[in-house]
Homo-oligomer: A and B are copies of this chain.
Amino acid sequence: MKKYNKKDSCSYALGATLTIEMLEHKIEYAKRVYFHSTLERNETVLKIEEVCRKNNIPIIQSDKVFRVLSEKENCYIIGEFQKFESKLSKDKNHIVLVNPSNSGNLGTIIRSMVGFGIYDLAIIKPAVDIFDLKTIRASMGAIFNIRFSYFDSFSDYSKEYKNNYYPFMLQAKEKLALTKFKTPFSLIFGNEATGLPKEFLNIGESVIISHSKNIDSLNLTIAASIAIYESTKNNFNNR
């Protein structure tokens, strides 16, 4: 047992809530579940035991895995699963993240996507590992609800997926609240520190979330989540 490494073929859902999400949505990838020796039996635990029994997923009691993987957290259940990746859906709205570099941010954006009904995520390399334990935790399990693929470049992505592209950039002219999003769309966001390269101004319709001069930019997770909210609110919710 060693610390999680992005080259591993498996990753881990830390805690009961994440483990349940994993079992519910990705049972075919579940390898085993670890229980801590001090775990107290409650409804959630019984549910996990039942799901594991029915699906022949071993439950292993071991405290060592908790010391290695979860460090300081109050974590008594860990779900181990085989990593997965899946083709994006061609007729659906997508989120495209170009070179995301922060694991927690990636997870938070996935949580917002699922919150507003977008289930397809393209990640352009170089990029953080979507199976980093911090990403899984920040997604609150929403990662088990989405389809996602990594691409070597945006052009690799765009060859395959002909959505209406909306790159979000500080240099754009079209304001978010005035943008009429044509479905299926792809909302495209750049790296936390550098944003999207200028050439994205020539791709699709670039959009800006106007803000006061007293900040340089919005936080990436905030910008992406506001854009997702605004682009989905008419057809999905909040009306």
State the A residues within 8 Å of B (CB): 108, 111-112, 114-117, 138, 140, 142, 145, 175-178, 209-212, 214-216, 218-219, 221-222, 225-226, 229-230, 233, 236-239
How many copies of this chain does one complex carry? Answer: 2
B112 touches A178 (CB 8 A): no
Report yes or no: A237 in contact with B212, Cβ–Cβ below 8 A.
yes
A4 CB to nearest chain B CB (Å): 20
A147 to chain B, nearest CB (A): 13
A106 CB, min distance to chain B CBs, angstroms = 13
- Specify which chain B residues have a CB less than 8 angstroms from the CB of A212 in the assembled complex: 114-117, 236-237
Min distance, Cβ A83 to any Cβ of chain B, angstroms: 21
Shortest C-beta distance, A115 to chain B (Å), equals 4
Listed by A's residue number, 27 A-B pairs whose Cβ atoms lie within 8 Å are A108-B219, A108-B222, A111-B218, A111-B219, A111-B222, A112-B219, A115-B215, A116-B211, A116-B212, A138-B219, A140-B216, A142-B215, A145-B214, A175-B237, A178-B238, A209-B229, A210-B237, A212-B236, A218-B225, A219-B221, A221-B221, A221-B222, A222-B222, A225-B225, A226-B229, A229-B229, A229-B230
